[in-house]
Structure 1
Amino acid sequence: MKTFFRLVSCGVLMLSTTAVLAAEPAKCQNVRMGVVNWTDVIATSAVAEVLLQNMGYEVKQTSAAQQIIFGGLRDDRLDVFLGYWKPAMDKNIAPFIAANQVKVLEKPSMNDAQATLAVPDYVASGGLKTFADIAKFKDKLGGKIYGIEPGTGANANIKGMIEKNQFGLGGFQLVESGEAGMLAAVQRAVKRNEWVVFVGWTPHPMNINMKIEYLTGSEDVFGPLEGAATVSVVTAPDYATRCPNVSKLMSNLQFTAAQESQMMVPIMERKAPADVARLWLKNHPEDVQRWLSGVTTFDGKDAAAAVQVAVSR
């Protein structure tokens, strides 16, 4: 009888172990991540990648524009995207949400972001403090507003103001460029003490490395509360059902603007994002515990222990 109970107990253990191992199908072991070429998204995506790799997953990052990433989630070519800025990306993601082709996780990964137009502090001191002030200084600004890469919500907002002559901006030109190109142009202007208006946001090292001020009186062009924003994870619509463990990790990833700005500084200084993420995880074990609460490795083991051992080597 004792032998029988031992066999039954072993059988139950084997079934339990098998259930853990079978919690996610083999396809879930390969996580396909969309990444826009913004340093904050690069930083958080690197954190997620390092965590997943040390949990027994394989990660492939694909760098692309927002619309391509949303289309990839719709078409089962991508699984997750850690960079949905709301409201900046609302227009671009709206058709995909309406058609139930993507899913925005309920809890944002960041609550204290901001994105709107900004100027160097000396420009603000010179009188350009609001959106209505921009047109007054058209000559000093060269009639230009510096945006980021084509197709972004921020650029669409600027184009809309120009087309509608909102704030008297009808004669202005939008200069489209990537994040690095825009920042290089702003930094050149600052060195020459020239006037410039550009898309600014936090989290970002620009708030640490440059003295800038955000414009007010935007009339909600960049969203309510002068561009106050949240950042959320977006997945394929059925990803939580198909891959609950990875989805749980994505739901757990919560950052502050201050944290991300700190992560972004070394990345902007050309440090490899994965190396920056590993060092952050090594130096912030409390984040590892928080982010991996209720999460296992792919084979059902303690994820936090596995990651902490890996990053401490």
Structure 2
Amino acid sequence: MKKFKTAAMAATAFACLATTAVAAEKAECKLVRMSDLGWTDIALTNTTAELILKALGYEVQQSLLALNVTFDSLKNDDMDVFLGNWRPVQDLDYKAYFDSGAVVPLTTNLTGAKYTLAVPQYVADAGLKSFDDLQKFADKLDHKIYGIEPGSNKPLLDMIAAKTHGLDGDWQVVESSEAAMLAQVQRAVAAKDFIVFLGWQPHPMNVNMEMTYLAGGDAEFGPDFGGATVRTIARGTYPQDCPNVTQFFTNLVFDIDYENTGMNMIMTDGLEVPAAATKMMRDNPRKVEEWLKGVSTIDGKPGFDAVKSALEIE
């Protein structure tokens, strides 16, 4: 009888501790703060994560930030997670954040990506096929390279400042946003004007227009036309602070076809981002199941069951 009472007391104590642990995690981790650079791929992946996390009982805050502000926000514990750590292009400028432990990688969420300068096919056909050809077409290009938001164009700014690839004259990087850059490209293509811009894969631009990636940009963007992987990263203590959410983000891995299809729904078909993200999950239930292995709701219930029910996944 004494042994039974002791065991019962121990079980009660463990249950109380477990309840306290869940409550403590709720207080610290219920709000998940995610950085958004204004890129369509991150909009798709962030919103996918947001829909799942809300179904699990979390709250999500997405903030539109420049890349450098994203890293500083992670370092200062003002942001929790970022799904757009493109490598190797971000490795050099942000190495210190990883070396210090202020920012930690959780997983590689995409392989087979690329990220470098590109031109419409008719510009390549005219002879502009590499970084070393830029100067020859400087006048036709109006000495302009079209980039995206500030903080993401540093390799190009450094290239112009150092006058590498024979660049000479008053070259400039036009910094704006993904949407503004693509609108400028579309206007140029319609008029058959010369333009050079920052291109990447995955993105519907690769299927919606004929384009060529420029060779010779290894120093700026890495080999294989800026061949890249994309990582999910977090503030330094997040894995210890929020293990359940961390497990989810560690599982959350995409592929090129998935992202191209989802982004095309948004940019070509005109679906709102949540609708596209939801449709992609309903069309790929096995992926969702993989993403939720070992993940629970915020109150400890099976994660996949909750998400399946909330998002009507068959």
Q: TM-score, length-normalised on structure 2?
A: 0.90
Structure 1 stretches of 5 or more lacking a match?
none
What is the match of residue 161 of structure 1?
Answer: 159
Displacement of 1:13 = 8.8
Partner of 1:35: 36
Q: How does 1:89-168 map to 2 (within 5 A)?
A: 89-105=90-106, 107-152=107-152, 155-168=153-166
Computed over aligned residues only, the root mean square deviation of the Cα atoms, in angstroms, reads 2.4
Match of 2:202 in 1: 203
Q: Residues 312 and 173 from structure 1, CA distance in 2 versus in 1: closer, same or farther, beyond 3 angstroms? A: same
Answer whether contact 2:83 2:233 (CA < 8 A) is retained: yes
66-75 or 294-303, which deviates more: 66-75
Maintained 8 Å contact 2:26/2:298: no
* Secondary structure in 1 matching 2:94: helix
Matched, 1:286 2:286: yes
| Gap change, CA 1:97 and 1:10, over 3 Å in 2 | closer
**One-letter amino acid of the counterpart of residue 85, structure 1:** W
Q: Deviations over 1:140-181 (max 9, x none)?
A: 2222211112221xx211122222221122222222221111
In 2, the alpha carbon distance for the partners of 1:94 and 1:185 equals 33
Q: Percent identity?
A: 42
- Please show how residues 117-266 of structure 1 align to structure 2 within 5 Å: 117-152=117-152, 155-171=153-169, 172-266=171-265
Q: CA separation in 1, counterparts of 2:84 and 2:218?
A: 25
For 1:243 and 1:47, how far apart are their aligned partners in 2?
19
Partner of residue 312, structure 1 = 312
Higher mean alpha-carbon deviation, 57-66 vs 11-20, is at 11-20
The CA distance in 2 between the partners of 1:91 and 1:63, in whole Å, is: 23
Write the distance in 1 (CA, Å) between the matches of 2:278 and 2:27.
Answer: 26
Shift, 1:18, TM fit: 3.4
**What secondary structure is seen at the aligned counterpart in 2 of 1:217?**
coil
Contact 1:20 1:299 (C-alpha < 8 Å) held by counterparts:
no
Per the alignment, residue 75 of structure 1 pairs with 76
Measure the CA separation in 1 of the matches of 2:149 and 2:5.
Answer: 68
Change (3 A) 1:254 1:191: same
- With the length of structure 1 as denominator, give the TM-score of the two structures: 0.91
Following superposition, the deviation at residue 242 of structure 1 comes to 0.8
Q: Secondary structure at the match of 1:108?
A: strand
Q: Counterparts of 1:128 and 1:77 in 2: how far apart (Å)?
A: 43
Give how far 1:25 is off: 4.3
Aligned residue pairs: how many? 310
Runs of 4 or more above 3 Å deviation: 3-23
